[in-house]
Amino acid sequence: MKSRSVRVRASHPIPSRKSQQCSGGGGRYHPWSCAGRYWAVAVDRITSPKLNFIFGPFDKTEHFLNYGQGFHSNDARGTTIAVDPKTGNPADKVPALVKSKGEEIGVRTERIPRLQSSLSLWQLSLASELIFLGDAGTTEASRPSMRRGIEWSNCYLPYSWLLVDFDLSLSRARFTDADPAGDHIPGAIGRVASLGATAKDLGPWSGNVHARYFGPRPLIEDNSVRSQSSLIFSARASYKVDAGTSVNFDVFNLFDRKADDIQYYYASRLQGEAAPVNDIHFHPVEPRTVRLAIVARY
């Protein structure tokens, strides 16, 4: 299969688990309005109760249990649409707010000297996924879904001047209804990892190096087309001139790796092609880039 680069008008946020807050609840009120050929206004409300239990500490270790309901908002155009602008036919509206429900259980510990570590199991259900439509440059309300995963976070201080952090997340994302198209969620990443090292208090100098890994992900519901993985490094050196001024030197994509920031799969037609072709469309990672910044605080 060939791959080709096209311009994408919007970036699709990769769905992820939302952290749970302390016990409580809240109502949400959101107005939407869309102007253009048609004018409409939509209003929606939703209640989001949350509950958080923490047990401990016991021998520098605590256990936690979280439950919460939240929401995400659909594209405002879909909440107010009455007529399809392309065909002129009547169009169905989508709900303005879509309910989510999440649970998490885990443990945090500092039993190992100089190491803070946490491990958690979580799941998140959505009444409707938001799927990015690359050809139209917008999002579409889709099917209900469930995500389950495990997260491991670590912060290690081997010396007073050196901090090392490591995070790993594994997850499984699936649509929960039956559909011949398949149950994989396009764009949902199953493996994410990051590793960083920060040196500080070296006189006026400090610096850090960071690595970010995104695993492959399905680009279509039947998982027959998948994206490539990516591993990107960045680095920063900082010099403190005085209490309010510092100079930062950043290098992004430190090793000038060839990868893609985002990939989509949909039909498009290039010049000279007789008909649209289903293909991978991508936005490449920026090549090695340097930035020099002077930061003044007052």
- Predicted pLDDT of residue 135: 67
Alpha-carbon distances of 240 from 78, 206, 290, rounded to whole Å = 50, 8, 19
Residue matched to tokens 């799969």: 265
CA atoms of 178 and 144, how far apart (whole Å): 10
User: Residue 202: what pLDDT?
Assistant: 92
pLDDT for the residue 27:
47
CA-wise closest residue to 3 among 266, 256, 186: 266
H or E, element range at 79:
helix 76-80
pLDDT computed for residue 86 by the predictor: 65
φ, ψ dihedrals at 28, nearest 5°: -120, 135
Query: Which pair of structure tokens corresponds to residue 290?
Result: 């340097």
What is the b/e burial string over 235-251, where b = at least 16 CB atoms within 10 angstroms of the residue's CB? bbebeeeeeeebeeeeb
What is the C-alpha to C-alpha distance for residues 145 and 130, in angstroms, rounded to an integer?
10
- List the chain residues with pLDDT less than 70: 1-42, 84-86, 134-136
Tokens of 262: 């985002």
Question: Smallest Cα–Cα separation from 77: which of 91, 63, 89?
Answer: 91
Identity of the residue numbered 84: D
pLDDT of residue 22: 35
Contacts of 196 (CB under 8 A, 6+ apart): 164, 165, 166, 208, 209, 210, 211
The verdict on pTM exceeding 0.85 is: no
